[in-house]
Homo-oligomer: A and B are copies of this chain.
């Protein structure tokens, strides 16, 4: 690789340091603060490393990990797009496409093409690898909500039915065994919530 390539790669790697400052809605499990998108990306990549056998169809774990390492990089420009507080999807999609062009555009041509393709594959969510990456992008925050007694569900008054649509559709399609476990957690959480509300 040329020294110009290295300059470009380092420019990208410096620029995406900002992902550590993009705050998500999800809590850390100790509830001390909200998670940022860089930590989330590390955690879901680790989920992929350990849970890829639960994918509905065989996946290339290495590709899923790499997809998850870059899946949120567009948030450096476009910001986080919270699941329960979102504006129009089309507007966000435009912002994210522009962000991908600018950020991956910092890289040398060959890697720029590779990264754009990998990010585009994740966004499209059609390949088996992308379907499973999307499972984990829903499953990890779901675990956080369950562990912290509601997390973003409690904060946003999310219903059982909304959870089933917003998480279940993606998780069930790409990892049915994980979704069966989620269903138990969710039923338990909302039945407890229901009791609490009735006790008020």
Contacts and interface: CB of A to CB of B under 8 A. Distances in A.
Interface residues of A, number: 47
A173 B38 CA distance: 29
A88 to B, nearest CB: 29
Nearest to A27: B17
A149 to B, nearest CB: 14
Interface string A1-33: 101001001101110111111000000111010
- Give this chain's copy count: 2
A17 B42 CA distance: 10
A153 interface: no
Nearest to A63: B62
A181 interface: yes
A137 B53 CA distance: 29
26 contacts: A6-B177, A6-B178, A9-B50, A9-B51, A12-B50, A13-B43, A13-B50, A13-B140, A13-B143, A14-B147, A16-B46, A20-B28, A20-B35, A20-B43, A38-B39, A38-B42, A39-B42, A41-B42, A42-B42, A42-B45, A42-B69, A45-B45, A45-B69, A46-B69, A50-B107, A65-B65
Contacts of A47: 13
A172 interface: no
A187 B106 CA distance: 26
Given A6-B177, A20-B39, 20 more contacts: A1-B53, A9-B50, A9-B51, A13-B43, A13-B46, A14-B29, A14-B143, A17-B30, A17-B144, A18-B30, A20-B35, A21-B28, A21-B30, A39-B39, A45-B65, A46-B69, A46-B70, A49-B66, A50-B111, A65-B69
| Binding site secondary structure of chain A | helix
A36 interface: yes
A54 interface: yes
